[in-house]
Amino acid sequence: MDRRFLIKNLLAVAFGTLMVLTSELLHTPAILFPEILALLTGMWVAPRMPWRVRRWEIPPLMTVCAVWGAALSRWSPLGTAWTICIAFAGAALLLLAVRSTLLPVLSACILPILLGEHSWVYPVAVAVMTVLLCLGQTLLERFQLRKPQTPETWHWNGREEALRWPVAIGTVTALAAVGVSLGVPCVAAPPLAVLLSELSFRESPAAPFSMQIWAGTVCCAAAGAMARWVLCVRLGLPLTVAALAASAMAMAIFALLRRPFPPSAALALLPLLLPETLIPTYPAQVAVGGLICLLAAGCIRHATAEMPVLLKAGTVGSHLDRKR
């Protein structure tokens, strides 16, 4: 294994573990934000950051969506599924407005709603940790552990986005409604919303490897559940030990598959926040929800790929009608 890749992996595991340790020492679960491991994977570990966003746009975007999610969790009179729908739509509009594909913001706004987190410590923790991640990425580039990346702007297509986002939001809302009513809320785990949105891009570089990504996602979920169940529930060890084991296993899975996928990493830490009763079925819930998201993403890609052909055919047909 390349030495620089190993160092970046070790630093990512250390950061994720330190986050959980801080949460435990301060007795503040709101500090524990599983999507941080996804951001670590994309910003530190992966050879190239998968999102079109400028480095210092990340903290404000993540913080705004964390505040949005916490506010909805605290004050929304609607049920969980409809509140998630509103949160998802608001985050999507923000990304379109700033022309960014920083999809982890979806998880930042959905997580507090699904878990019933009301504390304002949550967005403050998100803000602090994302600033630290940006500083860490700067240092990695300075010490030549990571190549600098030129920021890109997302030039989105209005017709495609008008199809993509409603289908993605509808899918996640339906999963949340069914999951909450059946007592299996993790079929709509927040990182799955990110997975669906990422793979639904017509030109997503990860799309050709969808099944491999799904398998890696399920393995990360299983690793996190196993770490929590064995180390914490059975052996009574602190969550920090489980976080260390889950993060290390997630990075090992990415190294084995040679395909780091940020949303999968977050699913390795999510079990640390769940009630013990959900842990045994957590991997199965993620597997089912992930498969449905995969199918929805495939349908969106197919529809958006066909859209230019259909529009061209309609234009040609109209022209022939006028000639007649």
> What is the residue-wise DSSP string for 25-66?
HTT-GGG--THHHHHHIIIIISSS--S---GGGHHHHHHHHH
Is pLDDT of 323 > 80? no
CA angle 153, 154, 156 (to 5 degrees): 145
> Can you give the pLDDT at residue 324?
53
Q: Which of 55, 24, 244, 51 is nearest to 141 (CA)?
A: 55
- Specify whether the backbone of 254 is left (phi greater than 0), alpha (psi in -120 to 50) or beta: alpha
- C-beta separation of 67 from 172 below 8 A: no
| Residue 243 DSSP SS3 | helix
pLDDT confidence bin for 147, thresholds 50/70/90: confident
Question: Residue 311: pLDDT above 70?
Answer: no
For residue range 210-249, what is the model confidence (pLDDT) as tens digits? 899 999 999 999 999 999 999 999 999 999 999 999 999 9
Residue with the two structure tokens 């996190």 = 224
- Judge whether 224 and 268 are in contact, CB under 8 Å: yes
Q: Which residue has the higher pLDDT, 259 or 192?
A: 192
Share of the chain above pLDDT 90, in %: 75
Element containing residue 148 per DSSP (H, E): none
pLDDT band with cut points at 50, 70 and 90 for residue 306: confident
CA distances from 75 to 71, 287, 305 (A): 6, 31, 40
Task: Tell whether the model's pLDDT for residue 157 goes beyond 90.
Answer: no
Distance CA 184, CA 278 (A): 8
Residue 273's pLDDT is 95
Mean pLDDT value across residues 265-285: 95
226: three-class secondary structure by DSSP = helix
319, pLDDT greater than 80: no
